[in-house]
Amino acid sequence: MIGCRNLVSMASQAQTPVTDGARQMLRHVVATIAYRGGKTMRGAPENFGSFRASEKTRTPAEIVAHLADLMNWALSMARGKQEWQDTQAGAAWTAGVARFHRSLEALDEYLGSGEPLGAPAENLFQGPLADALTHIGQLAMLRRMAGSPVKGENYFKAEIVAGRVGAEQAKAVREFD
């Protein structure tokens, strides 16, 4: 049971300014999204973007467009706004992947700038960033369903570095067969 003193403490913590540690953690999460997302997108056949598991599921291209929209939404919140844009997926898989990485770069650049955060770090994580990890898992599952699986990996050992958010990522340290 949470006592009154703990509730007051929790309420005051929610209003404390974002620490450098929280910003660094956000940047690491963004780099993790780049690493894991890049792994699910790299080496996919061009026609993978239009693969549909069923008539009611998103295509991989639609998921990648949504991922870029999530990063743009996170950036808008970090800047103190809440702007959502639902972008339609383009025809070219590689263009969607490039847009995803550009959106990650813009978010990471803002997080690394020292500009004030217009939203709590915890909310940025629990909303758009955590949602992105879910969708990256969907892409990995769709790759397997489409006959182009991505190898599993011990992500604890992966070389993920805050600021490395482009398509070029470190090679896997420990993949599973």
122, part of any domain: yes
174 lies in some domain: no
The helix/strand/coil state of 153 is strand
What span, in angstroms and rounded, lies between the C-alpha atoms of 173 and 177? 13
* Domain tally, the chain: 1
Predicted local confidence at residue 48, as pLDDT: 95
pLDDT at site 102: 97
User: Encoding tokens for residue 17?
Assistant: 């300014």
pLDDT in tens, the chain (177 residues): 444 444 333 333 444 455 689 999 999 999 999 999 999 999 999 899 999 999 999 999 999 999 999 999 999 999 999 999 999 887 789 999 999 999 999 999 999 998 999 999 999 999 999 999 999 999 999 999 999 999 999 999 999 999 999 999 999 999 987
Within a domain: 147: yes
Q: Which residues constitute the domain of residue 35?
A: 19-157
- Evaluate whether residue 80 is within a structural domain: yes
Q: Is residue 29 part of a domain?
A: yes
| Whether the Cβ atoms of residue 65 and residue 73 lie closer than 8 Å to each other | no
| pLDDT at residue number 46 | 82
| Residue 175 belongs to some domain of the structure | no
Q: Are 66 and 58 in contact (CB under 8 A)?
A: yes
Per-residue model confidence (pLDDT) at position 3: 43
151 in a structural domain: yes
Spatial distance between the Cα atoms of 33 and 29, rounded to a whole number of angstroms: 6
Element (H, E) at 110: helix 93-113
pLDDT at 114: 85
The separation between CA 77 and the C-alpha centre of its own chain, rounded to angstroms, equals: 15
pLDDT at 177: 78
CATH number of the domain at 23, please.
Answer: 1.20.120
Position 57 in a domain: yes
Report which residue type is found at 151: K
